[in-house]
Homo-oligomer: A and B are copies of this chain.
Amino acid sequence: MSYERFFSHAAAAMRESAIRRMGTLGARIPDLISFAPGFPDPAMFPWDALREAAGDLLSGDDRGALQYGPTRGYGPLLQTLEPLLASRGIASTLDQRLITSGSQQGLDLVARVLIDPDDVVLVELPTYTGAISAFVNARARLMGVRQDEDGIDVDELDRAVARVRAEGRRVRLLYVVPNFQNPTGLLIGHDKRRRLLEWAEKADVLIVEDDPYGDLFFPDSAGPADTRPLKADDTAGRVVYLSSFSKTLAPGLRTAWVVAPEPIVQKFDVAKQAADICTGSLDQRLVHRALGAGLLAAQGERLRAHYQGKRIVMERAIAAWGPGLASWPRPRGGFFLWLTLPPAVDAERLLRRALGLSVSFVTGSAFFVDGSGHNTVRLSFSQPSEPEIEEGIARLGRALREELESQLPAGGSSADSGISVPRG
């Protein structure tokens, strides 16, 4: 029996996440080194502290540890967010905060509460696939806006809004990842952050600011002053701020949060009631304990050094490919290195070749809502070990050279492709 006739229009439009599909593909390949998923390094999870906390929490003294909890979130955790937010420059009241089951749920709540079918959502070009999925599932139309080396082009934003409104369509929000963007690793500059807030006010739109990586700046090239959230200067109440413990504590605990104007948080609360009633009670308490023990600050120190080290190894390994094969903006934090390959390279074809050599990545085109980016690649350096990064990048270099050679007439460089292939 066919079920097509039972599916909603939204279901018909749903597409599997490219990143998740990669995960499934890769699972079948032996010795795979994967640069595909943006997973944190599990060796860095605070295992001992969480084990001890779980032992305490499951003593039975706190009956709420395994019971349903408030949709808004575990009260003490919501309280503890106050100093954490203050350290990022964000002042907020309790009524402006909500715990979500990962930031993905935050994006989903945004999609449900702030988007009607056919509304236009402005996003960076490229942007995070999880946001694309959440917005597409709400049947939004996505419009991409190009980025410079210091992030989204504000003049282009103006033109985009004008174009959309001239067509009689609605644009209610811009989605941005200002700190070490997924997938490009870019950081929005100081001046541009200020301009974005002014633009939102002038254009009468909301900004959804997704900030999972802000704590993970790399000391060799960035500091806390560079990652100050837009929300910190949001005097007009234009910013919905999402952040998470997935990258700093552990993603398996599915605990993240939203800070937004109170009327929006109220709607999120009602939407979340029907989505999952509440976020895991034990998970929220584990995070609360970790925060209370000062673990987040300690993790920040460790993780910044750890991931910076991996980025250095990855950059060095790519540089060893020789000149002309790839360019990238140096990541000043976060998990991702964004490669632009010679225009003749199709990353989908490269991926098939790379899987044959037991290495994987996400094709950059998955992050472009305008169908471009065929010769771009997202590499995550967060999960593999340093030796795996070296070996994996060497394999990828081999795949890339093979791919380029396959396009050349035997024995020479091609005038068509505009590139020559370094040997070695």
Contacts and interface: CB of A to CB of B under 8 A. Distances in A.
Contact of A271 (B11, B58, B65, B113): B11
Contact of A47 (B51, B58, B237): B58
B277 A69 contact: no
Nearest to A261: B3
A112 interface: yes
A106 to B, nearest CB: 10
Given A116-B8, A280-B253, A275 B108 contact: yes
The residue among A3, A63, A278, A281 with the most chain B CB atoms within 10 A of its own CB is A3
Contacts of A114: 6-8, 11
Contacts of A68: 37, 39, 246, 251-252
Contact of A16 (B3, B14, B270): B270
A247 to B, nearest CB: 11
A410 to B, nearest CB: 44
Interface stretch (A77-85, A129-137, A412-420): A129-137
Interface stretch (A97-105, A323-331, A387-395, A396-404): A97-105
B236 A1 contact: yes
A385 interface: no
A250 B65 CA distance: 9
Interface string A242-280: 000010001111100000010110010111011111111
B270 A237 contact: no
A42 B61 CA distance: 10
Interface in A1-17: 1-4, 6-11, 14-17
A263 to B, nearest CB: 5
A188 to B, nearest CB: 23
Contact of A277 (B1, B42, B102, B264): B102
B252 A64 contact: yes
Contacts of A119: 8
Nearest to A11: B113
A366 interface: no
A277 B66 contact: no
22 contacts: A1-B237, A6-B206, A8-B114, A8-B115, A10-B113, A11-B114, A14-B271, A37-B68, A54-B55, A67-B252, A102-B277, A104-B274, A104-B276, A107-B274, A133-B273, A134-B274, A137-B271, A137-B274, A252-B282, A254-B278, A275-B275, A280-B283
The 10 closest A-B pairs by CB, nearest first: A252-B281, A51-B58, A66-B250, A133-B274, A42-B63, A66-B252, A54-B54, A47-B60, A11-B113, A3-B263
Given A8-B115, A108-B275, 11 more contacts: A3-B264, A11-B114, A11-B267, A42-B67, A50-B58, A64-B252, A68-B251, A108-B276, A253-B280, A254-B280, A276-B276
